Amino acid sequence: MLPRIPYWSSLGLLDSIKKMIATFRIGISARLVSSRIKSIRCHWLTTEAKPSITICDRSFLQSDMTNITPTISAKVGANLHCQRYHPLKAIKDHIEQYVHAIYRKRTGSPLFTCIDNLSPVVSVEQNFDSLSVPQDHVSRAKNDNYYINSDYLLRAHTSAHERDLVRAGLDAFLCTGDCYRRDEIDAKHYPVFHQMEGVRLFDKQDIFTKDKNLDIFDNSMQETEEKQAVHSLEAVKFVENDLKEILMGIMNNLFGNIETRFVDAYFPFTHPSWEMEIKFQGD
């Protein structure tokens, strides 16, 4: 995860539109011998257009879930992680160069595809449902996110793009972008921050290069603290070691020889899960 750094952009809100629609219904009855108006019915319908908000050149109708403030909307689109000479871009480039140097395909080309230009506007389905986040999970709360309306929000994490990128055919990628959460501003928190997402898919040939009798899947369907029900323990341990190895490599490449540790964690969309901690100033 890259540091959370504030940034600015410009965006204006559309003025609300009010309109009055007058509707006339006229019934006319005519006879062969004489044509005449039998009745005139007139009624008025008053409708008020819902206010809209424009984010990333897209217009959205607001709802009771809308809670994006002008201050936050003004920051969308700065893309500091892509701005030349910006510290965020320097960190992003440094990580990408390290990963490209260490992880290569058999053909010699980089294993990981790097993506940094995806819109921060995502659907609720992308941000939560695609990651199996329960409907009643606290991370969905209006108090914790910036909702555009009931169906869209500013991404709370780059994980919102994982499923779509996998469906696009990518099996190893780094995805960097600006993210938004309703945090109290202090030395460690800001409502706008940046993340880098790393995803890699493995098949049996990647994991079991020596023992072809081992399998990725476990027919016993028993979930434990170490693995999901569908995966074999051997496959999980291989992927766990690979994940921790690349994360430690990135940290050492960024900060030099530092002390790190992994602690068990809970996330609704991964199991098992860990968080990496770095010793800093004795803590």
Q: Which residues of 69-93 are buried (b: 16+ CB within 10 A; e: fewer)?
A: eeebbebbbbbbbeeeebebbebbe
User: Does a structural domain hold residue 55?
Assistant: no
Q: Is the residue at 166 inside a domain?
A: yes
Residue 24 lies in a domain: no
Per-residue pLDDT at 10: 34
- Lowest-confidence range among 57-66, 87-96, 209-218? 209-218
Q: Is residue 128 part of a domain?
A: yes
Q: What average pLDDT is seen over the chain?
A: 85
**8-state DSSP, 217:** B
Average pLDDT, integer, range 168-178: 98
In a domain, 245, yes or no: no
Residue 44 has pLDDT above 50, yes or no: yes
Q: Which two tokens stand for residue 71?
A: 């201050």
What confidence score (pLDDT) does residue 194 get? 97
Residue 253 lies in a domain: no
Q: pLDDT digits over 108-140, tens only?
A: 999 999 999 999 999 999 999 999 999 999 999
CATH number at residue 188: 3.30.930.10
Range of the domain at 161: 1-8+63-201
Please report which confidence band the pLDDT of residue 188 belongs to, taking 50, 70 and 90 as the band edges.
Answer: confident
Q: Cβ–Cβ contacts within 10 Å for residue 222, how many?
A: 10
**DSSP-derived secondary structure for 55-77:** ETTEEEE--TT----HHHHTTTT
Distance CA 235, CA 38 (A): 83
What is the rounded CA–CA span in Å between residue 62 and residue 55? 12
Query: Is 223 contained in some domain?
Result: no
Give the tokens for residue 32. 């062969």
pLDDT, residue 48, reads 65
Residues whose CB is less than 8 angstroms from the CB of residue 222 and which lie 6 or more positions away in sequence, other chains included: 229
The string of pLDDT tens digits covering residues 206-256 is 898 878 788 999 988 899 999 999 999 999 999 999 999 999 999 999 999
pLDDT tens digits along 256-270: 989 999 999 988 778
Using an 8 Å Cβ cutoff, are 216 and 235 in contact?
A: yes
C-beta neighbour count of 145 within 10 angstroms: 22
Residue 124 lies in a domain: yes
Q: Give the pTM.
A: 0.78
Count of the separate structural domains present in the chain: 1
